[in-house]
Structure 1
């Protein structure tokens, strides 16, 4: 899902006041806008508008951006541009916004004439425009940098990825197979409030629909998936063909239903599957494979966590569903795992991912084929979405290190040990005080700054711990 770059519109704002004073200024500054777009190649695909010189220009450009299905809009002042030209546009805009407070030349020099002064006077247009967005209650990011620099590219890329994640959430549907786990309070929320505030919609899918879909799948599709797994994973020889075919049918059936319901994230609960009475085993390996294909996932009917894994894919690539299993004080780390679901794209490079025969009493069904791996050592980030009531949401985020840690032979599910930068004592104190949930997304790399921008664009409270 993150193989392509975010697609953003670059809106260059100026005014006709300077045309007589500096003939050709509009084309001169239009060329500057095109150079900015070219400088962002590699972090975003940019669509550049004609210079906006009035309200009609602004409205026309924004309609074109929205019709082009872009992820966000970056506003650049090509000269000073009065904010009332764009005030109404921002009030009605449906895309995330970034105000790039930049200018063509990085330094004021004695050689500047009035043309140079005019070309580089965007800062007070940025102030006027930012004031208008604040008054309108429009969330936006701001980047003040030298535009040809690596720092500008890095910050612009971070905003573009956050904009993609925020925009994707506005049209996200999360499929829930059956129902959510009884008694699991930190996953409870007001569905209408989530949709109003952030966008994700819940689609309940009956287990019976999954059973019918699984039964209708052709053997050729099942065989093709099993051959692909033979090439990709180390296969436990204890697994029978029947067990593997049953798992493959579950995966293919889930994906077919997600496609039919236009869902890019989902959750299954073991009781909803086990109590149905028509399934032989839980779809553990299916969840791992579908996460690796870019679907958001969470266990136990947890819509918030599934939406977070989806956002993690869009924001930083390869979101991994997990939870904190236990604390390890000697290494100042947390054992991260879950019942058997995990995105194998975060696995160590020096060990094969194994598809194993794995006994599991939960659900009271037959052994579910499970993908087993250890998480790749290196920098990593955890993020949890907290429903605070009404349309208030909080994100609790921790950065740290996945350790090159011990093997745990009895743990037949994806795992790793995460050492927070703040240490487990301070991290867990902060996590618990802020209501951090027990399901979360992990991304490899230090991406707390990315989540912060995402929160700024969506109105979520951001709390690092």
Structure 2
């Protein structure tokens, strides 16, 4: 599992040189406060790169350069006192790092004139934010004291959103067999991917998997088969079909690891009996999703990148599609050919040999199961006019198995949106939602909105 809980921030304490000249003893009073904030972030699995207290332009430049060199996800500013904006503005405006303004003070209660020196940073925040806006530098701002508000929760949400953006832009996405011909909603040009999205596409063909195929009797193949017998129901699968599926799946894993992929996509029409991968590796795909690797079908690198990013930063996610509406229960049925994140299944996964008529490839082994109940979010990255994008975020309730054994043997799940499915489906298509999506459990709405804001995408919450 490649889920990464830890984000990394640059914490930037800001101060005024004049105070060091006339009241040099005041600076040390902020040390416990800074230390406490650092510990609060670290307790949330957020690594902190702490800059020295900055007062002058060269000190800010040095701090920002260090943050960039240490590859932080974002910068969190901290006004210890008033700090003149012209000292920090060039460094902050020129960095590509996302900026979170933490507008707070050392003390929760202000009831004495003796506390003024330690608690007057808010007008420094106002000075800086005015200049940031005039320079066109985007920023987030969260306000409050850690002892009397949820400000740290809000900042953590912003930090996680920044982490999502960084992972997405730096990802490598494998594409096997190109795009599915004629399937246009998720197709964008390589120039748009490079210029607007940032991730790298690694093109491959099924034939190129030949060197990655292990022997049928290799120890790793036999060990993987034994592990499958411990966790899956294989009563419907022959030993030879299981073996062939494991061989294909391990070849897939070797390729993913060699290419250091965040996610991948396979066009099933490119799979042929005599072309490296002799079967569509559905079981291997399901296992890779459970390990935190993103996936999407039919050459869709957008959804594969989105799924990989969500899995790595937020936790397990799955590729899926909305297949059929159930008007009678106001739910929507999710499915696909044979791909799902098996770590999100309720109960034991059952494996089946799937008849295959799409190409001359061998019949694949597919997992079958139902997505578990619980709060979840459906996420879609939709291309729009003039090379724009929208992130569609839909909080839903996954409702579990609906009709007993009626859908046995299928990849399946049902969800109930916040709206009626009549209104939901209408709003989804009006927003340009594509027919591929990502399912993630929990409802990290703020994190996803922050992600979209940093990427300069539109956000649509349905």
| Secondary structure in structure 2 of the residue aligned to 1:450 | helix
Q: 1:56 aligns with which of 55, 58, 64?
A: 58
Moved more, 352-361 or 195-204: 352-361
Determine helix, strand or coil for the equivalent of 2:236: coil
Q: In the alignment, what sits opposite 2:329?
A: 331
Please give the alpha-carbon distance, in whole angstroms, between the structure 2 residues aligned to 1:218 and 1:30.
Answer: 62
Structure 2 counterpart of 1:145: 144
Q: Choose from 372, 375, 388 the match for 1:379.
A: 375
Residue matched to 2:23? 22
- Helix, strand or coil at the partner of 2:117: helix
TM-score for the superposition, normalised by structure 1: 0.92
DSSP 3-state at the match of 1:138: coil
1:77 CA displacement: 1.3
CA distance in 2, matches of 1:217, 1:16: 70
- RMSD of equivalent CA atoms: 2.1
1:312-351 C-alpha deviation (Å, 9 max, x unpaired)? 1134211111110111122211111111111122222xx1
Which shifted more, 410-419 or 328-337? Answer: 410-419
1:281–1:409: structure 2 CA closer, same or farther, 3 Å change rule?
A: farther
- Give, in angstroms, the shift of residue 281 of structure 1: 1.8
Aligned to 2:388: 392
Give the structure 2 partner of residue 33 of structure 1: 34
Secondary structure of 1:274 counterpart: coil
Shift of 1:129: 2.3
1:174 Cα offset (Å) = 0.7
SS of aligned partner of 1:23? coil
Equivalent runs, 1:54-453 vs 2, <5 Å = 54-109=56-111, 111-113=112-114, 116-148=115-147, 151-214=150-213, 219-231=218-230, 233-274=231-272, 277-348=275-346, 351-406=347-402, 407-453=404-450
Once the two structures are overlaid, the 10-residue window that deviates more, 184-193 or 129-138, is 129-138
Write out the 4+ residue segments of structure 1 that deviate beyond 4 Å after TM superposition: 215-218, 275-278
Q: Residue 338 and residue 131 in structure 1: after superposition, are their counterparts in 2 closer, same or farther (change >3 A)?
A: farther
Deviations 1:95-148 (A, max 9, x none): 322111222223332x232xx223222222222222333333333322113224
Relative to the length of structure 2, the TM-score reads 0.93
The alpha-carbon deviation at position 395 of structure 1 amounts to 0.9
Contiguous gaps of at least 5 residues in structure 1: none
| Cα distance in 1, alignment partners of residues 394 and 406 from structure 2 | 27
Deviation at 1:378, TM superposition (A): 1.2
- Structure 2 unaligned runs (5+)? none
3-state SS of paired residue (1:451): helix
- More divergent stretch after superposition (427-436 vs 397-406): 397-406
Distance 1:411 1:112 in 2: 72
Deviation of the 1:311 alpha carbon: 2.0
Task: Give the secondary structure class of the aligned counterpart of 1:86.
Answer: helix
User: SS at 2:242's partner residue?
Assistant: helix
Q: How far did 1:17 drift?
A: 1.7
| DSSP-derived class of the 2:106 partner | coil
Cα deviation code 1:14-50 (max 9, x no counterpart): 1212224433322322432221121121242222211
CA gap 1:379/1:408 in 2 versus in 1, 3 angstroms: same
Report SS of the residue matched to 2:235.
Answer: coil
**For each residue in 1:348-369, what CA deviation from the matched residue of structure 2 results, as whole angstroms up to 9, or x when unmatched?**
2xx1123333334344533311
Find the residue that maps to 1:75 and give its secondary structure.
Answer: strand
Structure 2 CA distance for aligned equivalents of residues 146 and 330 of structure 1: 49
